[in-house]
Amino acid sequence: MATDNRVHFWRRSAKVPGSVQPVYGAQHPPLDPRLRRTYPKDTKPKFNNLKAKKASSFHEFARSTNDAWDIDEEEDEDFLGTPAQTSSLPSGLPSSSIQNQNPLGDTEDRVSHLPSTGDPDLQHARKEDVNSRVVKSTSDVHLNTSSVRSTLQKQPSLPVRPIIPLVARMSDQNASGAPPMTVREKNRLDKFKQLLASPNTDLEELRKHSWSGIPREVRPITWRLLSGYLPANKERRELVLRRKREEYFGFIEQYYHSRTDEHYKDTYRQIHIDIPRTNPLIPLFQQPVVQEVFERILFIWAIRHPASGYVQGINDLVTPFFVVFLSEFVKDVENFEVAALPLDTQRNIEADSFWCMSKLLDGIQDNYTFAQPGIQNKVKALEELVSRIDEDIHNHFKRYEVEYLQFAFRWMNNLLMRELPLRCTIRLWDTYQAEAEGFSHFHLYVCSAFLIEWRKEILSMVDFQGLLMLLQNLPTIHWGNEEVGLLLAEAYRLKYMFADAPSHYKR
C-alpha cells in the first residue's frame, strides 16, 4: 500500500465499509526492555536521532509516523468481493443495523500507531500455516451447521515479533524466585475450597478473600460466581451451566450463518481483522481453532448488542476468561493444542467465556456505544484526579502538550490489557471482580496509580515524542504478582482518599 494511502485506510469510507480506527499505540503486548537498548534514567533519552527534527505537536508527530497495522488494499478488495452466502435472516434477529464504532471517538485525525521496534535478529519462526492464514469457523463440524469451510489470508503486513516466554508464561502466578506454594497460600486455598463447598456460597466473604488474588486451582469456579454467571446455591450450578451453554450454542445455530449477509458483513469483516492481533506473541491465540472460537463469541455478542455492535478492543476482553477456563484442564496453556481437547470440553470453555465476557461488558457498555461516552468521561476523570494527586506530572503534560486522551484512551478501552502481560491482567481481574464496580469505577484509580508509578521516568522526559513513546511502551514485561499487588494497594489508597472527596487537594 502506498504511504499516502495509509492514513486514508483507517478512515471510514464507502470503499472500505466499517474500516477500523487505530488504537493508541501499536506495541502489544508491552515492550520487553531486553529487546531494546534501555537508557539511563538520569540522562535525556534520544529516540531514533530525531533531535534535529523534533515534533513540536501531536499533529506533527502523528504525521511523521506510519501505521504498524496496515492492510493491503488488494486484500480488502478480495474480502469485500467475496460472494456472501445466501441465507434467510432468522426472525429473531434484531432489526437495528450493527454499526462498527470508531474506538477513537472524535480524535481519529490526531493519533496514529507508533512504529514497531522489534529486533529482527530475535524473531522466531512459527509454523507456516499458523503464521500465514486464519481458518474461518468450522461450525459445520463442531456445531452441525451447513457453513462452508474456507480460509482467510492473514494481514501480510502484521508485524512478526519474537515470542517472549515471560509474556506467555500465564501459568506462573508467583513472583520471581518464590516457591510454588507457601504455607500461607495453602491455607488460603483451603479457605476458598471451604467457601465453594458450602451449600450456599457466601459471595461477600468470597469477594473479601479474592481481593488479594485467587489461587489458580479455584480461579475458574470463583470467576464464574463473582461475575454472576453461576448462582451461589451449589445444587443449582450444574443445571444453570447446562442451560446457559445450550442457550449459547442455540444462538450459534440460529444466527451464525448470517455472518456473511449484507446486514452483518461489516461487523464480521472487522472481527476477522482484529482476531489475528489478539495477543500475537502467545502461540495459543494463533491456533485456528482458538481464532474460530473468538470469531463466534464476538459475532454473537455483536448481534445481540446492536446499541454498540462490535468495537475494536472487545476482542482483548475474551482472552482472560478463555485462558482461565482452559486452565481447568491444562497447565501449560500457552503452548497447548486446544484441538486435542474433547469437543464437549471445547464447547464448554467457549460458552463460559462468552457469558462471562457478556457479564463484564454489561457494566461498561457505554465505553463502546456511539462516540464512546464512557471512555471520554473516564479519561476526563483521570485527568482531573491526576491534577490533584500529582500536580508536577499534570503540569509536565501541559508543558509538552501531551493530552491524556492520547495515551489513556487505550488504558480505558482495553482495561490496561495492552500495558500489562496477560498473567498480570488475570491477577488484576481477580481484584476487579471482587471489588464493587471494579471494571467501571475502581479501574480509574488503578490507572491513576499506574501513571504515578512511572513518575520519575515521566518527569525525566523533556520532549513530546519521548513522553508519548514512554507512555505507549511502558516496560512492564517482567511484572508479576508482587508488582500488581503494590499497584492495587496504591489504587485502593487513592480511592479511599479521593472517591468521596471531590474537593480534596483541589487547587
pLDDT of residue 119: 44
Three-state secondary structure readout of 488-507: HHHHHHHHHHHCCCCCCCCC
pLDDT of residue 505: 53
**Cα-based torsion angle of the residue sequence 316, 290, 275, 84 in order, rounded to the nearest 10 degrees:** -140
CA separation for the pair 141, 147 (Å, rounded):
9
CA separation for the pair 364, 369 (Å, rounded):
10
Beta-carbon-side half-sphere exposure of residue 182 (alpha carbons within 13 Å): 8
Does an H or E element contain 133, and which? strand 133-135
Tell me which DSSP letter residue 83 carries.
P
With CA atoms as reference, report the closest residue to 450 among 471, 422, 481. 471
The set of cell numbers assigned to 192 is 476458598
Residues with Cβ < 8 Å from 210, sequence gap 6 or more?
222, 226, 430, 431, 433, 434
pTM above 0.75, yes or no: no
For CA atoms 333, 336, 338, 344, give the dihedral sign.
negative
120 Rama sector, left if φ>0, alpha if ψ -120 to 50, beta otherwise:
alpha
CA separation for the pair 270, 275 (Å, rounded):
9
Return the SS3 of 200: strand
Q: How far is CA 57 from the centre of its chain?
A: 29
pLDDT of residue 334: 85
Q: What is the residue-wise DSSP string for 123-186?
A: PPP--HHHHHEEEPP-HHHHS---PPP-EEEPPTT-------HHHH-TT--S-TT--S--HHHH
Rounded CA Rg of the chain: 23
* Beta-strand relationship, 133-135 and 151-153: antiparallel
97 Rama sector, left if φ>0, alpha if ψ -120 to 50, beta otherwise:
beta
18 Rama sector, left if φ>0, alpha if ψ -120 to 50, beta otherwise:
left
pLDDT along the chain (507 residues), means of 10: 42 39 43 46 44 48 45 43 40 40 39 40 40 40 40 40 42 44 88 96 96 96 97 95 97 92 90 92 94 96 92 94 96 91 96 97 91 94 95 96 96 95 96 94 97 96 95 94 96 89 59
444 near 224, Cβ under 8 Å? no
pLDDT of residue 291: 96
Q: Which residue has the cell 469437543?
A: 343
